[in-house]
Each structure stands twice: as C-alpha cells, then as structure tokens.
Amino acid sequence: MKIVDIIPTTVSVPLEGPLRHSNGEHWGRFVRTIVEVVTDEGIVGLGEVGGGGEGAELQFKRLKDYLVGHDPFQLEALRYKICNPTASLYNNRMQYMAAIEFACLDIIGQKLGQPVYNLIGGKLRDKVSFASYLFFRYESEDGVYPEVRTIEQLVEHTRELKKRYGFTTHKLKAGVFPPEYELEAYLALAEEFPDDRFRIDPNACWSVEDSIWFARQIEHVRNDYLEDPTWGLNGMRRVREKTTIPLATNTVVVNFEQLAQNILDPAVDVILLDTTFWGGIRACAKAAAICDTFQLGIAVHSSGELGIQLSTMLHLAAALPNLTFAIDAHYHQLRDDVIEGGKMKYKNGQIEVPDEPGLGVKLDRDRLKEYAEMYEELGSYCYDRDSRRPGWYPLLPNDRWADPDMR
C-alpha cells in the first residue's frame, strides 16, 4: 500500500461563545485543518491539526514530496522523514507529524479491520471519563449563549453542564482575572459541588510567588492537580517545593528530552499527554509507559479538538493502564462537528470509545464544506489577543486591577 495524495481542508467551527484565557480568547470558533491521506487501495485516513489556516495547508502540501509513495504501515520511517531531528531545528513539524500519524493509523486499522486501540495495546475501558472545561466567556454574537464573568454565572454554568453532560470533575481555565478573584471563584465551585473533583489552569501566567500563594489557599479542596501555574521547569519546581498539591503540565514537559529532565530533577507530578503536541498517539503511549515506570501521573490534554482528534484521545485513553484522571476536552463547547452524525454524545460524563476499524469516525462532506466556506469567509484570528481588551497582558500587576471587568 502506498500514499498517493494528501488533502488538507481548513475549517472554522462555531463555539457556544468566545472562550477567554490568559493570552486572549478563542473568537467564538475553532480553526482546524482536516487532513485526508489517500492510498492507492482507495483507503482514506483522517487527521487533524489546530490553527494554521493557509500556512497549515501549505505545509501539508509540501509534505507530499516526502510522503507520496510511502507505505502508511512504516510509521517509524514516517517519523524520521517528517521530524528528522536536525531538520527540525529549522521548522516545527511535530503537530503535522501527529496529523499524518492519525491518518496512517486510521488507514492501518481500516486495512486490518481493527480499531486503533488494538494497534497500541488493546482496550482497557469501553468509556472514557471527561472533566468539564470551564471558561470565562463573552456572550455569543447571536445572544443564544450568555456570558460567564461573575462567580454566580460560573457556578450556574457549571450546574448546567453537570445536568446536561454528567461531569463530576471540573477544570477552570484561569489567568483571565486577578488571582484573588479566580481564587474566590474556584472556592465557590468547590463549596457548591462538594462531592466533585477540581483542577485549575492559568496557562502559566502567574508569578512563582502568586502561584505559591494560590496553591496554599486551595490545599483543602479535592484537587486533582494544579496545572501550569507558572512558566518553566525551574518556576514549577519552586512552586512544587511549597505545596502539597500535585503539579501538572502541558507546556514544559511536551517531549521526551523534557520528560527525562523532569525525571532526573522533578518539577511536575502529572504529565498531560496531548496527541497533537507530542507528535501522535504512539508517542503519547510511549511517554505514558515511561511515566508508569517512574510513577509519574498522566492525563490526556485537550488542544481544542474536533471529532477526529477527539477520537485519537479516546483510543489513547482506552489503552493506557496508568490513566487515573478524567481527561480534558473543549469538545462540549462546540456547536457542531465535521464528522458523520455530528458531535459525539456524553453520558454520565463519559464518551464511548469508537469500536469501528481505524479511528472509527468519517467525514460529513456537507458539514466539511459548510465550515470550510465559513473559514474562507471569516479567515483566521489572532490567538494571543482579546478582542475587547486591546493591549492587555496578564502579568502586568499595575494593570490587573484596572480591568473594567473587575470594577
């Protein structure tokens, strides 16, 4: 079997509302590039990567020179073709490698009549538990979905998500408001839902000192972990020395070299495995095995997925023996998806692992066309910008109290 074509299509899929984070906002939609890898046997595998737009499409078109004629079963050779360590000094191909690997595993599974989880060790669980992903957000442009800004709004939003999806673990995306306000919000959630578990992630925007202070205020909460409160292995190490809460990361341990450094001189307790950031499902499975050896915790990270990448997360989570945490997903924030049948369904805070050959998802051509046209109309957006707070940076202490939202 040989690869004969690679077809990238960038889409813009609407969210319930613009999601706010420490660097700015998701502007009411996710921009994702869908990748179809076509073989000479007519089998088509699906991949997905975030953002990029025209740049991502151009990168995949350039990769055709490397990959047309390649056997999709030869995954290690594929990795060296795309992510040659020396060549990678001059480009960032890890996420593109992940998208191609997703598609190749999808092809292999379809060819063998096996779901992807059987290609990475077999299924240990039929359903995967998810954490809610709580964001402060602006009201949607059409007025259907209200803002989440006040603590009362956040608690009510969480209550509604629990009722609709059944979540019992909750993750708050912080770094939007001063830590004092977000502490009050986090404690309000813990008080309102005393039987649930919690985690918080300010995207590494707090100082070490603020991180230590915050951690000490929440040590009595049923915390899974404190995710990326500050930046860098040294910063995380300083915070870890001052708290009993496990620290987690998807920013400072995202490859095997960093994982080795963290094992030799621990700064992080829980490694958040992202099938895109780590370069594919297989790399995440390898990293999980290393973490198991050294008794580091693992969870599965979300980078703003549609159904194709969500399927990769489900197959990975199904096969990991040392996965003890509910996994993250932005998925419930989406209004729609590009896969057949629309969005996957939650039940009791879980989603069933697809059992069909390959990734177990297929493209809905009408939806793909609709959201590709939406991307053509709207274009990309600047991730590191808040449309309503120009010039705002979370680490400037003199500005954080001047935020009009805090008056």
Active site residue 173: yes
Cβ atoms 101, 278 nearer than 8 A: no
Cβ-count burial of 321 within 10 angstroms (0-12 exposed, 13-18 middle, 19+ buried)? exposed
Q: Which residues pair with 134 in a beta bridge?
A: 172
Cβ atoms 19, 333 nearer than 8 A: yes
Length of the chain: 407
- The rounded distance, in Å, linking the Cα atoms of 37 and 47 is 8
- Residue type at position 299: A
- Closest by CA position to 67, among listed 47, 53, 51, 90: 47
Tokens of 217: 């205020």
User: What DSSP character marks residue 339?
Assistant: B
- The rounded distance, in Å, linking the Cα atoms of 302 and 179 is 23
- The rounded distance, in Å, linking the Cα atoms of 146 and 157 is 9
Catalytic residue from among 26, 81, 301, 315: 301
Sequence-separated (6 or more) residues with CB below 8 Å from residue 109: 115, 116, 118, 119, 357, 358, 359
- The CA-atom distances, in angstroms, between 298 and each of 122, 152, 198, 205, 301 are 18, 32, 16, 22, 9
Neighbours of 266 (CB within 10 A): 15
Q: Which helix (H) or strand (E) covers residue 227, if one does?
A: strand 223-227
Cβ-count burial of 16 within 10 angstroms (0-12 exposed, 13-18 middle, 19+ buried)? middle
- The rounded distance, in Å, linking the Cα atoms of 198 and 169 is 6
Active site residue 220: no
- The rounded distance, in Å, linking the Cα atoms of 107 and 7 is 15
Tokens of 271: 């490694």
- The rounded distance, in Å, linking the Cα atoms of 334 and 109 is 28
Tokens of 225: 């972990």
Strands, E assignment, 250-335: 270-273, 297-300
Catalytic residue from among 21, 26, 173, 315: 173
Catalytic residues: 173, 301
